[in-house]
Structure formats: structure tokens, C-alpha cells
Amino acid sequence: LDGEDVRYDPMDYAVPNPWTELAADRQACPVARNRHGFYQALSYDAVSEVLRHPERFSSRSGNNLARPGKNTDVLIYADPPVHSRQRRLMIPAFAPARVNRLEPYARKVADDLLDGVSDGAFELIEQYSNPFAMTTMGCVLLSIPIEQRPTFRRWTLAIEAETAGAPAEAWEADVAECEEYFRRELRARAEMDDPPDDLMTVLVRSQLENQPIEEDAVLFMLRILLSAGNGTTTDLITNAVWLLDQHPGQKRRFLSDVPGMVGGLVDETLRYDGPIRGIFRTATRDTAVAGCPIPAGSRVYASLMGGGHDETAFEGADDFIIDRDWNTIPPQLGFGTGPHQCVGLNFARLVGRVGLETLYSRLPNLRVRPGFQPVHRHSPIRRGFHALELIADAKQPRTTDPSMAVTPHEYKIAKVAVPGRR
């Protein structure tokens, strides 16, 4: 199988559900060179092998088709041992106990946003999933004051524009402003006796302790965090809502026990149609996967969607089933696997769980607007819609206290102002 004979094309965005193409190619050959000249791994085992062997499949050229102009040997652009050391800094910030403490704040953010939704037409991404993802990431996780949400959004969009290869005028000034904010914030925390117990403080502390890491590298890590942690959770919530609507039987089951089934819904969405559909690596030497030779220097695409729909790993792989028993089947690949597996996955699960649970508890009658057909954004990496139009009615009352703060550490960071740009 080679070139034009390969049926699945991750660059062809017009095919909404390419399950048939994936299955045909996987069966013919789980790793093949496609018409764009890169090798695509489509089976669960081949995807896992690529992602678990950084010595053969490097991240130095990034996990996307393009990489930023700066020479950045940081996190998703790094291999072990540089990568391992940087990653160790972040792990404590995402430990389950620390992340779980944020749950009440995430619930409050969700309730606040849904208070603003009235009966009738409701565009999910703009009115709910994106502001929810941004606010939980920015205000709850990074302790950015809630009033700065619009600024934070501007920065995040600029970073996304940069990663997507947009001209510098579109993002340069905003990215510089964002970096300046984080630089000031990190330095201020280094001087505080009692800094907020959050992600940025974890990074600052590890800088001050025995193995200092360059401030520029930490700033770049924060930038990666913003691009890795915002749009992804937006798409997780949105894709789950669409999938439920497409599978009415599953939606009925979900509505019969929203808190009990929401964890399963999150994992099944990640397996079936998660926010990241595939990631790139570069072969460091002549190698082979599943018997398919891959020459040194080739770009290799690990298709998370392909692995997730592999029948040998998941029975009924093309069926959407929200109550799979994840203790008895292989883990889904939506967060990747191997040394770069999503470091934020506990937080991402929390955002997905709380976002979907609150949405359907308050709007159990939520449905896609009849006749609306969502359109996927163009990206071989990401999987998400431009918009998802819904109908909302019969809203239930909120369960959280409206007067509660949404930023766990608000009072402590009030003295660090966001630099103004006039």
C-alpha cells in the first residue's frame, strides 16, 4: 500500500467519519506512506510503538507539520533526556489531589456561564465550551484574575495563530504581551513568602531549587500549555455533545444517570472522536513498524483516531458506547501514550466531566438545532467544529453559590497587574 492507493487522508477534511477508509487501510497495511509523502500509522499497536520510542521517532521537529521559528528544545519539541527533566517539573502541578481541589471552582464557572443562556438558539462553542475551557484553564488553573478573561482569550488566540503559521502581524504583539505578563508573574511569585499554591508556583519553585531551568524555557512551557490546554477541552465538550446527539440511545442512557456516566462519556469521546486526531514524529534512523520500512528523516503520523477505531483493541470500534468497561480493555489513545502523553490529562478530564455534567444537568432537553450540519476545522492534528448550534430550553436551577470566587487564589495575586497595551 503506497501513495494514491492509501484511502485514508488526514488532510481531507471533507470526510466527516472516515471509519471505512481507516479500516480498509489498516487491514491492508497498518503503516503506509500516503500521497503527501508521510507515513501514517493506523493500528493501535503501530501508533503505540511510534509514540513509545522517542529514540526512533523524535519530537525535535515538533508534533505538527510546522514548528515555530524559534529554536525551542522544550517539551513537545524535545526528546529525552531534556524532555524528561522539563516534564518532571510539571507533573506535581497536575497530581490528582491538586487537580481535584479545583472541581468546585470549575462547577461555579459552568453554572455562571449557563445562567447567561436563555431559551432558544444556543451556539455551544462561543457561549459555553470555549469560555468554560478558557476560564478553567486561565482563572482556575493559572490564577489569572477573572476580569482578565478577555485579555487571556486574546493571548490564547494569538498563540494559536502563531502555531497555525499566520503572518507575524496577526499575533506578535499579543504573544509578546502574554510572555511579559507571565515573566512578571513568575518573578513576583519567586519573591512572595506565601505564593498561591498553583501551577505557576510549582514551576517557579522548581526553578529556584537545585536544578534551575532557564526562564525562557519556562515561559515557552506556559505558552505550550495555553495552546495545548484550551482548544482541546473546548473540542472535547463540543464533540461529546454532537456524538450524543448522533446516538440517541446513548444519549438516553446518559440522561438516566448524568453524574454516573459522564466519566465514561469523556473516555469514549476521546477514543471515538477526540480533540487530537493524530500527531507527527520524525524517524531518526532507518526503522520499521509492523513490518513496514520507514527511512531515516521521514515524517511519521501517529493516527490517534486510527488507533482508537482499531477493532483488535476495541470490540465494536466504530460504535459509540459510553459505558465501556475501561478496566478490561486497552486505554484509549486520545491523550497519546509514551513519554509525551498529555501531562494535563487529569485536569482535562475534570474540565470535560464538569463541563458536560453541568450542561446536561441544567439543560437535559438540549439538542442540535434541526437541520444544522456542523463543519470540521481544517487540521490533520485537531478534530473539532467551527460551530455547533443547539436548542436550549427548560433550564434547571444552578447548584453552586453564585457569590463564590472563581479563582482559587484571587486575593493573593491582586497586586500583579497585567501590563497594559494602549
Judged by CB under 6 A, the chain residues 135 through 194 that form the site for ligand HEM are: 137, 141
User: How near is the Cβ of 231 to ligand HEM at its closest, in Å?
Assistant: 9
Q: Is 22 in the site for ligand HEM (CB under 6 A)?
A: no
For residues 264 and 254, what is the distance between their CA atoms, to the nearest angstrom? 9
Burial group, residue 307, by CB count within 10 angstroms (0-12, 13-18, 19+): buried
User: How near is the Cβ of 413 to ligand HEM at its closest, in Å?
Assistant: 18
For residues 324 and 327, what is the distance between their CA atoms, to the nearest angstrom? 9
Nearer to ligand HEM, 75 or 305 (CB): 75
Choices 16-24, 171-179, 200-208, 331-339; region in contact with ligand HEM by CB under 6 A? 331-339
Residue type at position 390: L
Judged by CB under 6 A, the chain residues 65 through 94 that form the site for ligand HEM are: 75-76, 87
Place of cell 492534528: 381
Task: Identify the residue among 254, 335, 360, 385 touching ligand HEM (CB under 6 A).
Answer: 335
Nearer to ligand HEM, 76 or 388 (CB): 76
Q: Nearest CA to 74 among 249, 226, 214, 262?
A: 214
Nearer to ligand HEM, 75 or 392 (CB): 75
Task: Identify the residue among 217, 224, 322, 368 touching ligand HEM (CB under 6 A).
Answer: 224
Residue with CB nearest ligand HEM?
Answer: 344
Task: Identify the residue among 343, 354, 390, 413 touching ligand HEM (CB under 6 A).
Answer: 343
Judged by CB under 6 A, the chain residues 231 through 250 that form the site for ligand HEM are: 232-233, 236
Q: CA 248 → CA 166, 252, 255, 264, distances in Å?
A: 40, 6, 10, 16
Alpha carbons within 13 A on the beta-carbon side of 335: 18
Q: Is 395 in the site for ligand HEM (CB under 6 A)?
A: no
Q: Is 203 in the site for ligand HEM (CB under 6 A)?
A: no
Q: Is 262 in the site for ligand HEM (CB under 6 A)?
A: no
Please count the other Cβ atoms lying within 10 Å of the Cβ belonging to residue 399.
12
Query: Cα-flanking dihedrals φ and ψ of residue 385, to 5°?
Result: -95, 160
Q: Nearest 10 degrees: CA dihedral of 406, 408, 412, 416? A: -60
Q: Is 107 in the site for ligand HEM (CB under 6 A)?
A: no
Q: Is 306 in the site for ligand HEM (CB under 6 A)?
A: no
C-alpha torsion sign, points 96, 97, 101, 103: positive
